[in-house]
Chains A and B, each alone.
Chain A
Amino acid sequence: MKKNSKTTDQKVPEKTSGMKRRSFIKLMGGGVFVLFYVGDPFKLLAQRRELPEDFNAFLRIDEEGMVSCFTGKIEMGQGVITSLAQMLADELEVPYDQVEMVMGDTDLCPWDMGTFGSMTTRFFGPPLRAAAAKARNVLTDLASEHLNLPPSQLTIKDGVVMDQHNPEHRVAYSQLTRGKKIEKEITETPPLEEYTKFTVVGEPMLRRDSRAKVTGDAKFSADIRLPGMVYAKILRPPSHGATLSSVDTSAIEGMEGVELIHEGDLVAVLHESPQMAELALSKIKATYTYDELDVNDKTIFDHLLAVAPEPSVSEEGGDLEKGEELSHLVFEREYHNSYVAHAPIEPHTALAVKEGDRIRVWASTQTPFPLKDQIARVLDISPNKVHVSPPFVGGGFGGKTSNGQAIEAARLAVLTGKPVMVAWTRQEEFFNDTFRPAAVVKIKSGVTKSGSIALWDYSVYFAGSRGSEHNYDIPHFKTRIFNRSWTAPPGTHPFATGAWRAPSNNTNTHARESQIDIMASEAGIDPLEFRLKNLKDEKMIGVLKAAAEKFGYTSAKSPSGRGYGIGCGIDAGTYVAHIAEVKVNEKTGHVQVVRVACAQNMGRVINPQGATIQIEGCITMGLGYALTEEIQFDGGAIHNKNFDTYELPRFSWTPRIDTVIIDAQHEDPQGGGEPPIISMGAVVANAIYDAIGVRLCQLPMTPERVLKAIQKS
């Protein structure tokens, strides 16, 4: 049995599903359905997560032989619309183009906690394959009856079951399902196909949604139109920590077509034109009382250290004192990174409408099922009265696990009785975002005369624990986590924080791999050689060597003047190593990343094309937090309002990117959407040091900071 593919015969009552199983199947017509629970219920219980309680189908084979794959996952650019179809096609042995994807709809798809953490392939893949294997068994049994042959004598190709001795004696899936309604539940894991038999998995496939996206046909939340719909503009405080004390709406009285809603903390104006709603909103006068944290983008790091809770120790070995004694050189450094915005080009958007006693919500969300529950709680209705349908999502990166806009739309739809669209402006997006937290890492490390790391004393404040493992072969080490998550208790951050692509790991890998580089340089050893010397993990050694080969790396002590920087780490089960080359303009402080090579070991690769594109995207996006992206703030007031004051990577930044994906088809697939971003801070910092001998320990490495560091040295 494959890991993660355990299923259960435990009976789960169908109690909260918006649509009952029977009505679902009735709605969908004939065919074969396979129903079961997403994920491993025992694992979910261990994580104290809500057990999936709905009973929706994973897949359906209709009477024409078309296969529908139902998944609670959403498509936001990461490409699972393609890779899940590949997995299903292989396991069911149907042509890839006969698979249709139905994604994220809470009435139609199996419960899912959300699309984040690079988990779709790792954790949804196995149950999906089990469902497909089950369907294949059912169809084989039907074919056995139809052809009057024992199942052992049958073989399947492209959705056709045939006698292996006489291929002309055959029957297609579509013939077997015609006029039938067959439901099957998974009670035990059926045997899965051996990976060696896959013909679609492992093939580079182009995106299957690209035609819709290049023609404008692809619908995002803002593109859904309903008769009588209105746009809502919502009054926002000038800063986080400001509470509305009075509001004067007299100026909008008599404005034609404008509807005002004021309920509790929610002040909104609605109009059929978004411009008119915006105009009306601008006429509202409000006063606030302020209770903000006295902190800004400069003082935040001292503040974080001052409010840090007691740490938990996540890994420990040997004896730190002994490690220090053994060390010939000891280094103490502190690393900082600023708050960073998700900044998807599609702002948070939702359209909500009452449909009878239910409410329907189209939303740009990474978490349709949790959103359904959230809306139910806020409206004080049963979750089965809420139907969330996410159309295409225009980028998420973790930011669309927070669904404020959809809750606002749902509240307003109920209050007005109209279909209500809430589409945040860019300024609202920069205000309401759940930012990647500012964080501090302190490291004390030591290296012996022979260049072995003897000491590793690591403390991370407020980034979270993901990626905090040191990965190296170190005898004396201790890792302390001050606040395990990317969110923190009140009084810590001046505004909301949340998961940002490879959360925690960007901060931890930046600090760790910078520190490793410092030790290598001071020990007089080439940074690649130093890493290889201090690693035992063969997979990490493998990706480092592969990246070096792709890059054409040759050994040299740093700073070599070449501007090469190395970094490596593990995220979502995937091993990744990067080598970058930079050019530093010492007059302006401008850093140009010229090229990046990346090697990744992610186990079996479902879609090598998609995986490569995720590597390219991660490298490009990672340049932003490495070089420019930073929230500027004073108390709860955020100064970045739009893309003129928050600089995203652009065309001219794009380095040459070379990628290697290690062949590991015999291993279970691991994450792909996040791992290749984790090293970007460190590789650029290390490359700057290698270029000009100046070390920066704060992200982003803006031209001002680079110049300051040059002057200081």
Chain B
Amino acid sequence: MQNNIQYSINYLMMKEIIRFELNHEPRELELDNDLILAWALRINFGMTGVKVGCELGLCGACTVLLDNEPVRSCILPVSEVQGKKVLTIEGLAKNGELHPLQKAFMKHDALQCGFCTPGMILNAYGLLMKNPEPSRKEIIEGMEENLCRCGAYTRIIDAIQTAAKEMKGGVAL
């Protein structure tokens, strides 16, 4: 990973060190509080799986996990991650072995253009952390704020159900 810590020193008055864990590794960033997490992840750390679709937290494409809780990174100041764990789609597979949710999305063809997919998977991950065996209705409620314009919703629901079965006995992170 390219070290981009110097990124904004030239134009920022206030500097603060943000220390956090990104995809299981300690990271730090010298930045101001106004920096939005989605941009920091994409630009400073190259995590381009974090998609920006609306910049108001309305579509869910930018969803990442913050201490296992799905958050909309497009409206979250980077200062909020101080001392916490951030997981993006790039950190979900373990040693090349895909997470059951990723496998289930592939198995069910639960995506078309793929732009909303990282947000869908991470939001589903957060849902399964709280409720390992959700009903169809609970999946719909839990996913309601994530938008897919291609219309893959039914397949995404099926994929989450498949992954939930696969993961029975605990979510491995």
Contacts and interface: CB of A to CB of B under 8 A. Distances in A.
* Residue among A346, A613, A651 with max Cβ neighbours from chain B (10 Å): A651
Contacts, number: 179
A79 B112 contact: yes
Given A215-B89, A621-B149, A648-B149, A222 B53 contact: no
Contacts of B69: none
A506 to B, nearest CB: 15
For the side of the interface on B, what is the size category? 35 or more
B126 interface: no
* Residue among B48, B93, B156 with max Cβ neighbours from chain A (10 Å): B48
A654 B153 contact: yes
Nearest to B146: A651
Contacts of A620: 151-154
Interface residues of A, number: 61
Given A651-B144, A651-B146, A214 B106 contact: yes
B151 A619 contact: yes
A76 interface: yes
Interface stretch (A268-276, A370-378, A531-539, A554-562): A268-276
Interface stretch (B14-22, B56-64, B165-173): B56-64
A345 B59 contact: yes
Contact of A207 (B59, B109, B147): B109
A713 B36 CA distance: 52
Interface string A670-681: 000000000000
Nearest to B137: A652
A655 to B, nearest CB: 9
B28 interface: no
Interface in B44-71: 46-56, 58-59, 61
A166 to B, nearest CB: 41
B131 interface: no
A78 interface: yes
Given A215-B89, A346-B115, A210 B54 contact: no
Interface in A652-709: 652-654, 657
B90 A215 contact: yes
A577 to B, nearest CB: 19
Interface string B131-165: 00000000111011011111111111100000000
Interface of B: 7-8, 10-11, 34-36, 39, 42-43, 46-56, 58-59, 61, 88-90, 92-93, 98, 102, 105-107, 109, 111-118, 121, 139-141, 143-144, 146-157
12 contacts: A77-B111, A215-B92, A223-B42, A223-B48, A273-B7, A274-B39, A275-B36, A344-B113, A345-B51, A346-B51, A394-B51, A649-B151
Given A215-B89, A613-B112, 4 more contacts: A212-B114, A216-B49, A223-B48, A426-B59
Interface of A: 76-79, 206-207, 209-220, 222-223, 225, 255-257, 272-276, 343-347, 392-395, 397, 423, 425-426, 609, 613, 616-621, 642-644, 648-654, 657
